[in-house]
Amino acid sequence: MTGDAAWLREAVTLAERNVAEGGGPFGAVIVAEGRVIARGQNRVTRDMDPTAHAEVTAIRAACRERGDFSLAGATLYTSCEPCPLCVSASLWARLDRVVYAADRHDAARGGFDDREFYELFARDPGTWPTRVEALGATAELDPRAPFDAWLAKADRVRY
Ligand SMILES: [Zn+2]
């Protein structure tokens, strides 16, 4: 087994090992130029961190390893189709590719149904389980002020 299949096998093995160690059934590996930059496992329950999905923990570790907030040129191999959080994290990380093993339906069978999150964006936000509301400008609040400060900062680091 070589290439994509071998890296994916490693991600699945990390997922299986994580279950044995008390974590969720998800693992991820980030690879660039034929070598592993970082590995990640789901740490939600162990770290009390709902964002500690395997892909996110791998992205965080890979960025620390690289000393960069961009993972351009790298591929994320994950044991399961990334949820919307992890797809977004992958886009922000500028990963070249994401390759997964199990799909969202396999995850649902395991009790992790993020299909509803995928479907959420097509629905009226008023029906979402978490209400997301814009308050807008008030006499005491200028919502654009942080962006004005950002644009006025000559040495800002774009990302
Ligand atoms: Zn996720």
pLDDT at 2: 79
pLDDT at 116: 86
Confidence at 62, pLDDT banded by 50, 70, 90: very high
Integer-rounded Cα Rg, in Å, for the chain is: 18
148 C-alpha vs ligand 1 centroid, how far in Å?
32
pLDDT at 114: 84
pLDDT at 4: 96
What is the per-residue pLDDT across 100-148, written as a single tens digit (0 to 9) for each? 999 999 999 999 988 888 898 899 989 999 999 988 889 999 999 999 9
Q: Which of 21, 55, 133, 140 is catalytic?
A: 55
Instruction: Give catalytic status of residue 55 as yes or no.
Output: yes
Count of Cβ atoms closer than 10 Å to residue 115 Cβ: 15
144 C-alpha vs ligand 1 centroid, how far in Å?
30
**pTM score, whole prediction:** 0.93
- Tokens 């299909």 correspond to 115
Q: For residue 13, is pLDDT > 80?
A: yes
What is the per-residue pLDDT across 42-56, written as a single tens digit (0 to 9) for each? 999 999 999 999 999
pLDDT at 90: 98
Please give the distance of CA 129 from its chain centroid, rounded to a whole number: 21
Q: Where are the beta strands (DSSP E) in the chain?
A: 27-32, 35-41, 75-80, 97-102
What is the per-residue pLDDT across 63-107, written as a single tens digit (0 to 9) for each? 999 999 999 999 999 999 999 999 999 999 999 999 999 999 999
